[in-house]
């Protein structure tokens, strides 16, 4: 009964997407949008997707983008978690770093681009650094907040049970701050793709963003749409991966996860 209800809900959820695709196909095929070149039907986009995949163009550019996102996001998150934990755990570090973080955090990641182009130059490090910055600040902020908001009673309880400071940090405080840390990671997982595409469109000749720019110059709306679909799926997928990781690590005990 439960499975049947679940299946019904899935079908119901997929219906708007199917409807959207059907409308898209009709509008494109019957030229209801001014200029056929500017609005290809869904089937033409699928055909181009197959073509770009078969000739390796999409794969090559996708791999470049994916590598940049993985390196930038991973290093930014690790650094963000480390700094956030130290800031949250040690008040003196928090007092020293918090004003700097508060000043830098509001700057949009793409705002750093002109400066980084001058400092780093146009090379592989540019998009990676942008993604690093994009993930670092929110993860620092969420991690430090999570650590600081762990209820003092848990720390006191661990102290009376004989736990050392390091044991309290790693066995009590960080696990209890995980929901906050994951909030930062989940948000930035999708955001890193958005920032990457912008960086690639402006400065880098490879990657999905660069492919988008080439397609624009050739008035290839079908390729642009393929790139946008890939981008959308990757944003969703990355967010979903972190959501699943959160559920796996926190879901058993957290009533909120």
- Report the run of H or E that residue 105 belongs to, with start and end: none
Rounded Cα distance between 192 and 207, Å, is 14
Q: How far apart are CA 159 and CA 112, in angstroms?
A: 44
Using CB under 8 A, which of the segments 31-39, 48-56, 172-180, 203-211 binds another protein? Answer: 172-180
Q: Where do we find the tokens 């830098």?
A: 104
CA distance 237 to 13: 17
Residue 166 engages another protein in binding (rule: CB under 8 A): no
Residue pair 200/208 in contact (Cβ under 8 Å)? The answer is yes
One residue of 95, 171, 247, 248 binding another protein per CB under 8 A: 171
d(CA 117, CA 231): 24
Distance CA 132, CA 255 (A): 31
* Terminal Cα-to-Cα distance of the chain (whole angstroms): 25
Binding of another protein by 35 (CB under 8 A): no
CB 245 → another protein: shortest distance, Å? 15
Q: Which residue has the tokens 């993604």?
A: 131
Give the one residue of 54, 122, 157, 233 binding another protein; rule: CB under 8 A.
157
172 binds another protein (CB under 8 A): yes
Q: Which of 119, 156, 205, 219 binds another protein (CB under 8 A)?
A: 156
Alpha-carbon span 158 to 42, nearest angstrom: 59
Closest approach of Cβ 102 to another protein, in Å?
30
| Choice between 30 and 253, CB closer to another protein | 253
Question: Which SS3 state, helix, strand or coil, does residue 84 take?
Answer: helix
- Residue 251 interacts with another protein (CB under 8 A): yes or no: no
Per CB under 8 A, which region of 42-50, 52-60, 104-112, 160-168 contacts another protein?
160-168
Between residue 174 and residue 193, which ones bind another protein under the rule CB under 8 A?
Answer: 175-176, 178
| Sole binder of another protein in the list 79, 154, 206, 216 (CB under 8 A) | 154
Interface stretch with another protein, choices 28-36, 105-113, 168-176, 183-191 (CB under 8 A): 168-176
**Binding-site ranges for another protein (CB under 8 A):** 151, 153-154, 156-164, 167, 171-172, 175-176, 178, 250, 252-255
């Amino acid at each position: 009964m439960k499975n049947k209800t679940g299946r019904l809900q899935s079908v119901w959820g997929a219906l708007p997407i199917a409807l959207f695709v059907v409308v898209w196909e009709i509008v494109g095929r019957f030229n209801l949008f001014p200029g056929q070149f500017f609005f290809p039907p869904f089937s033409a986009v699928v055909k181009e997707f197959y073509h770009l995949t078969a000739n390796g163009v999409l794969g090559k550019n996708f791999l470049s983008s994916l590598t940049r996102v993985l390196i930038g996001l991973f290093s930014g998150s690790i650094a963000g978690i480390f700094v956030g934990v130290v800031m949250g755990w040690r008040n003196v570090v928090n007092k020293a770093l918090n004003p700097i973080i508060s000043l830098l955090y509001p700057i949009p990641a793409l705002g750093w681009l002109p400066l980084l182009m001058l400092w780093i130059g146009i090379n592989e490090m540019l998009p990676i650094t942008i993604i690093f910055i994009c993930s670092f600040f929110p993860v620092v902020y969420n991690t430090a907040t999570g650590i600081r908001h762990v209820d003092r009673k848990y720390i006191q309880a661990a102290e009376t049970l004989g736990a050392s400071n390091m044991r309290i940090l790693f066995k009590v405080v960080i696990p209890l701050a995980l929901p906050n840390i994951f909030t930062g990671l989940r948000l930035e997982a999708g955001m890193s793709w958005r920032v990457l595409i912008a960086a690639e469109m402006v400065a880098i000749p490879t990657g999905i963003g660069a492919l988008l720019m080439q397609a624009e110059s050739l008035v290839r709306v079908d390729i642009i749409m393929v790139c946008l679909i890939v981008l959308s799926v990757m944003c969703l997928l990355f967010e979903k991966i972190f959501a699943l990781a959160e559920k796996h690590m926190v879901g058993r005990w957290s009533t909120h996860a």
